[in-house]
Amino acid sequence: MFEVLPYLEPDPILGLSAAYKEDSNAAKIDLGVGVYKDEHGNTPIMTSVAKAQKILLERENTKSYITPQGHQGYIDNMLSLLLGEKSPVLMADRVAGVQAPGGCGALRILAELIARSNEQARVFVSDPTWANHIPLMSSAGLQLETYPYFDKEKAGIRFDAMVDTLKTAGKGDIVLLHGCCHNPTGADLTNEQWDVVLELAQERGFTPFIDVAYLGFGDGLDEDAYGIRLLAENLPEVVIAASCSKNFGLYRERVGLAAIITEDAKTRDIVQGQIQSVARGSYSMPPSYGGALVDIILSDTSLKKEWMSEVNSIRNRMQSLRTMLVDKLEENGAQQDFSFLNTQKGMFSFLCITPEQVREMRDKHSVYFVGSSRINVAGINQQNVDTLARALVSVL
C-alpha cells in the first residue's frame, strides 16, 4: 500500500540542521533552527520554569487525563496575559478557548473550526509568512490567498500594497496576522498600522486570525499585545493562536492556546463545544505538563515577576545582538546598509541577500540559515559575530 507514496524532500530547516551537524568546521555557525540560545549556544531552562517544575512535582498526585479543554487556570491566565486582566471581552464572557499541543496544534484545530464554520473561507497569509502556516491551513481544506508584506529591496513592510489586497477580503474570509515579531522577517506593524487593519476589518467584515508565538520578545509583554487587544475589543470575532514555546522556553513540552472571541456569550458556549469537538477528533486530550507549569508561574506573583524579568532579559539581549552585528558589519567594511536589523524585532530577521549568497555563506564559510535569508538572531554570540560579519561581507 505505502509503496505508491511519492518521496518527499526533507523539510528545509530540518535538513539544514542535519547538514550543520555533519559539518566538521569548528567555526561553523547555526542561524537556522528557531530556538532561543544563550551566549554558549544552549537553550536554557528559565529559572522561573525550573522553580515551577519543583512545585508541580510536589503538588501533582495523579497521571489521569486532565479535562478536554485543558487546565482552566492555564487558559484563564493566558487569556489575561494576551487580552489584559480587565479585558472587556473577558468580562463579557465572550472568549472560548482550549489548551492545545503547541502553537501548531492551536493553528490546526482553529483551521478545522473555521472549515466547519465556512468551507468556502479564504485565508489570507502574508508574503512571506512562517512556512508551516501553509500546510497547517491548507490541510484543513481552506483556500489560501496571500497579501504583500515585505519588500527585500527596501527591507521594509509593503503596507500600502497590503492594504490594497486586504480591501478584497470580505465577510467569511480570514486574515492571518502575526501578533508581534513577524516570522520570518522581524518586521512588525506599527500601532498606527494596526489601527488601519482594524478599520479595514470593520469596513470589509473579514475575521482576523492572530498568531502570537513571541509575546514579550518585541517591545514588551503589554506593548506586543497592542494589535491583539485593539482588534479583540473592537470587533465581534477574532481568532487567536498562542504558543508558550519561546517566551517560556517550553519548546519540547508543546504548550499552546486556541482562543476565539465571539459576538456574545451565547455564541461563546456554542464555539466552546465545537472547538472541544475538533480537539477530541484530533488528539483527544491535551498534554498536561507544560500547561500546568505556565499556570503555576502566572498564578504566583513572585514567579510571574521573575518570569517577566527573564523575558525582558532575553528581549534586551537579542536587541543587543542585532546592534553588535550591525556594528561588526560596518567595521568590516560592508557597503550595504544593514541598519534595518536594528528596527526589526524578535528572534528572526531577513538579511535581504540572495539565495546564491546564502548558499555561499554555507558552502564557503559554514554559516547555516535558510535560503530566504532568514536568520535566527539568537544564534549570534560574542564568539562568532566577527566570523559571521567577515563571511557576510565577503559574499557581498
The residues annotated as belonging to the active site are 130, 211, 213, 246
Instruction: Round to whole Å and give the CA distance between 327 and 385.
Output: 10
Question: Regarding beta strands 255-261 and 95-101, do their DSSP bridges make them parallel or antiparallel, or are they unpaired?
Answer: antiparallel
Element of type H or E holding 248: none
H helical segments located in the chain: 12-22, 47-59, 72-83, 88-91, 102-117, 133-138, 159-166, 191-204, 221-224, 226-234, 265-282, 289-299, 301-331, 355-365, 385-395
**Per-residue CA distances from 7 to 2, 10, 282, 312 (Å):** 11, 9, 25, 44
Q: How many CA atoms lie within 13 A of 338 on its CB side?
A: 24
For residue 43, report the phi and psi dihedrals to the nearest 5 degrees.
-100, 100
Burial 131-156 (b: 16+ CB within 10 A, else e): bebeebbeebebeebebbbbeeeebe
Q: Tell me which residue of 205, 208, 267, 214 sits closest to 245, measured CA to CA.
A: 214
Q: Residue holding cell 524578535?
A: 346
| Bridge partners of residue 96, in order along the sequence | 260
Q: Tell me which residue of 134, 113, 105, 128 sits closest to 287, measured CA to CA.
A: 105
